[in-house]
A and B are shown apart, each in its own frame.
Chain A
Amino acid sequence: DTEVTQTPKHLVMGMTNKKSLKCEQHMGHRAMYWYKQKAKKPPELMFVYSYEKLSINESVPSRFSPECPNSSLLNLHLHALQPEDSALYLCASSQDSVGGYGYTFGSGTRLTVV
């Protein structure tokens, strides 16, 4: 299995809702990432988990809450989002934080906040 699987593919949520994005990989990768990508822009790093511990938080607002329950799963909990948070949310993984080279990206969750 050489894929990163993200669910759901599309999500529409109101500003008072609570929702979660899910990411799963079974490649034995020990680093996992959340990126946010706006239209026609490059991906922007949000969080990095290395060996299931949060190692980088790029000053992301607290309405985004990441969670890494185990080495294969990564969640992003969403609460009280704003319309400007609408974007493609990408999960990625790599072999490990030292030896890993490129990322493997998932196809993303297209999030619309109404």
Chain B
Amino acid sequence: QQQVKQSPQSLIVQKGGISIINCAYENTAFDYFPWYQQFPGKGPALLIAIRPDVSEKKEGRFTISFNKSAKQFSLHIMDSQPGDSATYFCAARYNFNKFYFGSGTKLNVKP
């Protein structure tokens, strides 16, 4: 059973456009929701994260929107750049030290 469902599997966006990646979960005990960015051959890097008592968090071009009642959260990348091309994973934390990852979204930003 997949704890965190992520969509789409892949995404192509033009440079300057908005990239949107969605995640959904069922377990209301999750208490922290990070997004990771992974380039080929590298480990995932923490991009931005949110706690469930906040509906939105923005850091530069990256925004997380969180809908607690719907148990959904999403990553928005504004003004997408070719350098943003990577695989993005959402995750949810359970019991302080156990993270469940979504299946990943491969983003390709076309010049």
CA of A92 to CA of B98 in the docked complex: distance in angstroms? 12
B44 touches A43 (CB 8 A): yes
CA of A92 to CA of B45 in the docked complex: distance in angstroms? 10
- With a CB–CB cut-off of 8 A, which chain A residues contact B96? 97-98, 100
Query: Which residues B68-111 have CB closer than 8 A to chain A?
Result: 89, 93, 96-99, 101-104, 106
B43 touches A45 (CB 8 A): no
Query: Does B61 lie at the interface of the complex (its beta carbon under 8 Å from any beta carbon of A)?
Result: no
Interface size classification for chain B: 20 to 34
Q: Digit string of B34-60 for contact with A (CB within 8 Å is 1, else 0)? A: 101000011111100100000000000
Query: Does A102 lie at the interface of the complex (its beta carbon under 8 Å from any beta carbon of B)?
Result: yes
B98 touches A104 (CB 8 A): no
- Spell out A's residues near B (CB within 8 Å): 4, 6, 31, 33, 40-43, 45, 48, 50, 55-56, 90, 92, 94, 97-98, 100-108, 110
